[in-house]
Structure 1
């Protein structure tokens, strides 16, 4: 049945759409559109359903990405990807964990839609240039050139990070304790000198509209937020986008989500999402899958 084939490959299709769009909501819309197209096809006439579905989802995601690009340029404050709650096993796949991390998703935002599609399909999912050419309607030679350009761009801007693990969760736990107790020196020791704090409120709730850079300024910011909200907020440690994270709940409602980028034992980035439009889907654990392909290796 057509539904069975779509359900079987849904984790892979969602992962591709999410990495191309940076939004779980947009990815779900793409999957819905793709399913409608798939349900209109006689599955007995399709020799390779997975390849066919990947092609459909890629084309729909490309169309969707081109449509939302303009809206993101008008976004109030800093735009961050819509966070997705991931299972612990995502962190066991280093390529997948890095590809859905906040830092990588922000780098992917700097690519044009075609470059993003080519990079995601080739370097993350391991599809050949020929397979990608068939998916996006370009020649194989053109795809090869786009892949080289996109890879060079991404590698020049990627930030090293350590995926969610017992060690990184312990660092986050120490950070949360230091902010709650006001232990400034412990906090400073946990933050890298060039740490960056990014906040996404979407213009709908209070959030810093510009990046906060440097250990001193970030420490002051997080201590100030903690003092203002500690009495009414409960904190939970979780995993989002393959990264250690913390959920801040007020009266039982998710009010703030922070994902932590950690490298060499120090926090190098904090990604705080407060935009309620992005938080209301953040409770669901998303199964992610790369489909068994081997990624490209330099």
Structure 2
């Protein structure tokens, strides 16, 4: 299978001052999917401009024709399944069925406290995620849903006419722990990883590859337990968080070498960040565009 190349465009630019042109250029370059982060703000961008993911993707849907669009990732930190389902169905309709929902359990950053709550423990995040994903699945596939859970409720929530994509838009589930991997195996059309965060500072690229290999083995076990062939699940690597950091974007050859090593692990899609000057995602725009245009042909 050919390796798909996608990009993630952070929502920090005003739409008419560079935002729109980035999305249209991503389509021109032939990227498979253009993703964006679904946060209220993010790390070093917290004190600067940052726009909402769903409105940004809606605008991108009207500015493009072929590019798939999605979140990497949405989480329960500030989302409720009932409201989110309505927005996703609308977005899937506006885009003509080009939406993928990247979804994860969330973390402890600004999103975790922006609504005034105390940050949840890892166990609490996992508990909520285990309820969030199945309920969202139902909301996107059934005309009317009533549900009463420990964390979320729905009372005759109507979602007619449903998604353009049937039975619903695809889920790309970000997970490395056993409960998350089980959700990916049961509800996901794709699985997402950023690698092993413990290796980011002091690990080596070789250690990272082995750690990811271990994650895929656990994903395989989760699929086997549910009677699913792991090969039916796309595998997405969001780059920029492994010990390689930005080096794969240093040249076409460096990226092809990086991507080939991960393609051998079974990845079907690699996502690279659209360059942002003076940030963790700084890169040469010309090299980035060369990678976009030439790397896919070398990774078939």
Q: Structure 1-normalised TM-score?
A: 0.28
Larger fraction in helix: 1
Which structure has the larger Rg?
Answer: 1
Q: Structure 2-normalised TM-score?
A: 0.28
Higher relative contact order (CA 8 A, sep 6+): 1
